[in-house]
Amino acid sequence: MKFRSYFLLGVVLVLAISCKVNPFTGKNVLNFYPNSQVFPMAFAEYDEFIGQNSVLKETSEAKMITKVGQRISSAAERWLSANGYPGYLKDYRWEYNLVKDPTINAWCMPGGKIVFYTGILPICAGETGVAVVMGHEVAHALADHGAQRMSAGTLQQLGAVAGNIAIQDPQSRNMFNQAYGIGSTVGVMLPFSRNHETEADRIGLQIMAIAGYNPDEAAELWRRMKAKSGGQAPPEFLSTHPSNDTRIENLVQWAPQAKEEAKKFGVTDFQ
């Protein structure tokens, strides 16, 4: 009994001291892992991936990926400095690579290591479309979504351990494990992931506008994505991402706000 009490007390203390402010939303977020721990691991994984895949360097498309990435990350730094967060990006090591792969995807590791697959370029349909995707991926890095996912996963594991400590009956413990696995995934982890995607959409829209790219193009990109998928997607509540329709609706609503934010930085004409 004493061990259980100490265990639960430890969880509460971890929750109490592990909050970090997201500068773009002003909200406290759960994050157990400092950049000094997460970034070196992410950089090593990224380097390994790059070494094992076909990276395009001198093509016009590869150069465009780098150009857009630099504009987007520079816009993020301008916003952060103007809003009281100078030096926020000091540990980031931005890198933008185009990988020859038909998969329709792009991703960003913590600390600013970004990959675009060639398969997503037709959906982007040009530089502004690339900026939509780049803004979203950069936003994941800025908001520490990777570390937050790690923190949430740690809590999910702690909850399972606590349940198994508390429940002595083997049959009841098995029932708990089954229910907990489904419940914590569908009820907590998947909504957590969808919230990150929505947050990255909104932050990314703002940053791309400050970089001089037209935020109206974001909804158009997701209309193309929806058409490409043929409407085939799991129900939103079983997905790590919001539905295409939800994203399009949000992006249409947020685009004027992104333009207004860009005006604060003297940006009124958009590419």
pLDDT of residue 191: 63
Query: Which residues are within 8 A (CB) of 241 and not within 5 positions of it... i.e. 6 or more apart?
Result: 193, 194, 197, 247
Active site residue: 77, 95, 137, 217, which one? 137
Residue 141 lies in a domain: yes
Coil, strand or helix: which one is 56?
Answer: strand
Least confident of 78-87, 121-130, 183-192, 203-212: 183-192
Residues in the chain: 271
Predicted TM-score (pTM) of this structure: 0.84
Burial of 86 per CB tally in 10 Å (0-12, 13-18, 19+)? exposed
Spatial strand order of the sheet with 113-117 comes to 55-56, 95-99, 113-117, 106-109
**β-bridge partners, 93:** none
Report how many domains make up the chain. 1
Q: Which residues span the domain enclosing 123?
A: 35-263
Q: Residue 10 falls within a domain, yes or no?
A: no
271 within domain boundaries: no
The fraction of the chain above a pLDDT of 70, given in percent, is 85
Is 261 labeled as catalytic in the residue annotation? Answer: no
Could you tell me if residue 18 is inside a domain?
Answer: no
| Angstrom distance (rounded) from CA 125 to CA 14 | 45
Q: What is the pLDDT of residue 2?
A: 45
CA dist 127 → 27, 38, 141, 223, 261 (Å): 32, 31, 21, 17, 21
Query: Would you state the pLDDT for residue 55?
Result: 98
- Tell which wins on pLDDT, 167 or 122: 122
Q: What is the pLDDT of residue 5?
A: 47
